[in-house]
Chain A
Amino acid sequence: MNNNDNKKGFEWTYAPAKESVEHIKLNETYGHFINGDFTSFDKKNSFTSINPATQEKLARISVAGKKEVNAAVRSALNGYQKYWSKISPKERGKYLFRIARMIQERARELSVIETLDGGKPIRESRDFDIPLAAHHFFYYAGWADKLEYILPNRKPKSLGVAAQIIPWNFPLLMAAWKIAPALATGNTVVLKPAETTSLSALKLAEIIRDADLPPGVVNIITGGGATGEQLCAHDDVNKIAFTGSTEIGKDIQKQIDGTSKKLSLELGGKAAHIIFDDAAINQAIEGIVNGIFFNQGHVCCAGSRLLVQENVLDEVIEKLQKRMQSLIVGDPLDKNTDIGAVNNESQLSKINFFLELAHKEGLEVFQTQNKNSSAGYFCAPTLISGVSQNSRLVQEEIFGPVLTVQSFRTTEEAIDKANNTPFGLSAGVWSEKTSRIFQVTSKLRAGVVWANTYNKFDPSSPFGGYKESGFGREGGVHGLISYLSI
């Protein structure tokens, strides 16, 4: 018999299946998108955007200072007064539908840029980020002329100029989460993408320009923290929507104290992912993997604290470790890559700081063999067990592919441990027993609770946090209310 039976087993290394980058057109330099057009590149105030998987330079990007921030806000105010507040809600909807379709048409290009600039696997940008971004525009396009139906007998009004600051973990998707509801509700926008991932937002600016949106309705300025601070401080800004770290969220809150600016914050998280002994364990393993290793763990709602019922702890850890070894860490452009590059150098240092801490605390650290030896920023999937509730690894957001495991015996213990955190963005529960699911989920202090799945998103479903994970909701009808005075 043609039997290649041997105890070591057959090694089937997948040949590279790299997504082509030949069709991608990036400029060498970028200005800001203000009043319907790009400003010229500001060489003196600029930075380089790199590919985190290779450290290759992708483009030079301008930094907006006070002058540019003022110009952008003035443009947004002008766009609001002159055009966007004047045209009919139905027309607003049409523009949003147009942007949605154009995102779909350019999906492949946007996916590759997202992966080049941010390090996330092409599988995710292709199957998750870009389709969902288009979906958000489609969803809110439909709402534009139906705002009066949100709450009975109320006439909702737009706010004016919205300043929106987004993080680097889902660059285009977060831009869509912010821009689509703001425009549907009749506001105009100044958006600032994160420094390390400006390119897809600048591509979106091209789409918005090509969609013939009236000038000033969407403005996109690039830069770092100082730019964001100046933007939030501007007197003509009526609404601030920020997604990012809890620390900066608190700063913004202090900064705008005493003003009439409306604020929504979507901040950090440290989600408990609870596995009961009556769960479908094999599927729960997939849920755990999807919960923490999706997007290199750069997910604010990542299921980063695994809580497993004592009597299935060994089984779960053993199966999880086996599954982790089949995760392919490597070139984000390869279609078979499961875990791409960490988004930036400082984030990698932060993750490594926590890994060193785990070693110092004498915890059991299981890390798969990271086979990637390129010049980029990579971190292999990591599982830390034997960790207690008072460890910094359990209390603080690591924002990387690092999962801590704790056990619990009773349901009460699981709920107590799950809620014992300053955060409250999300949580997950696995049990085949429906009554248990309801009993537990109703007691978890988290904005989003998934049952028997994890990291599922839909534009119609509101998303947001409790406690230090922020306030205000994005998505669904709730996401409209954040941009209206009702």
Chain B
Amino acid sequence: MYPDFKKNIPVDQAGVDERVARLAARSIKKNTKITGLKLALSMIDLTTLEGKDTPDNIEQLCRKALMPSAALPGLPTVAAVCVYPKHVRQAKKILLDSTVKVASVASGFPSGNTSRKVKLEEVKFAIDEGADEIDMVISRGEFLKGNYTFVFDEIAAIKHGCGKARLKVILETGELGNLDQVRRASDLAIAAGADFIKTSTGKVQPAATPAVTLVMLEAISDHFRKTGKMVGMKPAGGISTSKVALQYLVMVYETLGGEWMNNTWFRFGASSLANDIILQLLKEKTGTYHSANYISVD
């Protein structure tokens, strides 16, 4: 049975902005900061989604995922690497014996403008190649048209196709227009079986914003309140500094609570964030900032 798509939970943009500003004013220092940074690092889906990706790039990304910094032994690994289906097999081979997952975008990423058949085949291909997690995009055109049952069915079909793999549903909030729509899409994706809801592909601006993330966290919180079931959250795109990452963690902590403060339930979709965290952790350890040249690019 479909949920009642006409019933939308209203969101007040001004109130959300105010709350976000207040959460961002939390002062995170000393041990709290170090704990937070290590946690943030362990939540990263280290991502490369470029047409120009080479096997060397992928190899480098996976090595980085396993050992974020040689100068800081004992750091956690990142949560996952996120690549196109074509690179899944290679990534899985490198990460096979580790705890780092391989996530693959699939379903006509990034626009989703293809047939359901092709989407399901792409998901199947990624899973056959060894993907542990699937990051799908919703059909924004159908969603904005008001064809909610289409979007719901599509998510449900892909979730079925995922089998044991965890499904992250990308709403591409930068194309949804307003926060009411973000909330509607979040509720829809959760009802259709999403394991995670995710803000953005990273290919559309604006990508993740604190306001959008807060609204999605509220959707997760309301779902948990009603059903007792947890859903994960992944802001992606545009989170590149430690300071902003800590602000996101504060938001998760104060909105959802400590149960979500781990990489089973919260991820950052990011590429350069890991290096900034390493930079900050090196600074906390040595007292001085290092040149970016001391940290490997990926």
Contact = CB atoms under 8 A, between A and B. Distances in A.
Interface of A: 1-5, 7-17, 123, 127, 278-284, 286-287, 318-319, 326, 335-336, 432, 452-453
Contact of B257 (A5, A9, A283, A335): A9
A452 B27 contact: no
Contact of B253 (A12, A123, A318): A12
10 tightest A-B CB contacts, nearest first: A9-B258, A283-B15, A17-B27, A1-B99, A10-B261, A280-B12, A283-B12, A2-B76, A10-B258, A9-B259
Nearest to B15: A283
Contact of A1 (B16, B26, B101): B101
B36 A452 contact: no
A428 to B, nearest CB: 12
Contacts of B29: 15-17
B287 to A, nearest CB: 18
A280 B36 contact: no
Nearest to A9: B258
B225 interface: yes
B207 interface: no
B10 interface: yes
A286 B36 contact: no
B25 A12 contact: no
A14 B12 contact: no
Nearest to B77: A2
Interface in B1-50: 9-12, 14-16, 18-19, 25-33, 35-36, 39, 42
Given A4-B262, A5-B262, A15 B10 contact: no
A12 B261 contact: yes
A203 to B, nearest CB: 25
Given A1-B100, A2-B77, A2-B263, A280 B10 contact: yes
Contact of A283 (B16, B253, B254): B16
A7 B77 CA distance: 22
A168 to B, nearest CB: 25
Contacts of B35: 12
Contacts of A1: 79, 99-101, 263-264
A115 B68 CA distance: 43
5 contacts: A12-B32, A12-B261, A127-B25, A280-B15, A282-B15
B10 A432 contact: yes
A10 B30 CA distance: 17
A336 B218 contact: no
Interface string B63-91: 00000000000001101000000000000
A9 B265 CA distance: 11
Contact of A2 (B15, B42, B249): B42
Interface residues of B, number: 43
B265 to A, nearest CB: 8
**Residue from B12, B101, B258, B264 having most chain A Cβ neighbours under 10 A:** B12
A280 B32 CA distance: 33
Nearest to B28: A14
Contacts of B249: 12
Given A2-B263, A10-B258, A326-B254, 13 more contacts: A1-B263, A2-B76, A10-B261, A12-B32, A12-B35, A12-B253, A12-B261, A17-B29, A279-B10, A286-B18, A335-B26, A453-B14, A453-B15
A15 B30 contact: yes
Contacts of A319: 225
Contacts of A5: 262, 264-265
A336 B254 CA distance: 13
Nearest to B78: A2
Given A14-B32, A432-B10, A2 B258 contact: no
A287 B15 contact: yes
B284 to A, nearest CB: 12
Contacts of A16: 29
A114 B236 CA distance: 41
Nearest to B218: A282
Contact of A3 (B9, B12, B262): B262
Contacts of A10: 39, 253, 258-259, 261-262
A326 B263 CA distance: 22
Contacts of A278: 10
B32 A9 contact: no
A336 B26 contact: yes
Given A7-B259, A286-B19, A15 B100 contact: no
Contact of B27 (A14, A127, A279): A14
Nearest to B17: A283
Contacts of B27: 14, 17, 335-336
Contacts of B79: 1-2
Contacts of B101: 1
A123 B263 CA distance: 32
Interface string B214-236: 00001000100100000000000
A12 to B, nearest CB: 5
The listed residue with most A CB atoms (<10 A of its CB), out of B32, B39, B99, B260, is B32
B169 to A, nearest CB: 21
Interface string B244-274: 0000010001100111111111000000000
Nearest to A431: B10
A287 B36 CA distance: 29
B81 to A, nearest CB: 13
A92 B14 CA distance: 37
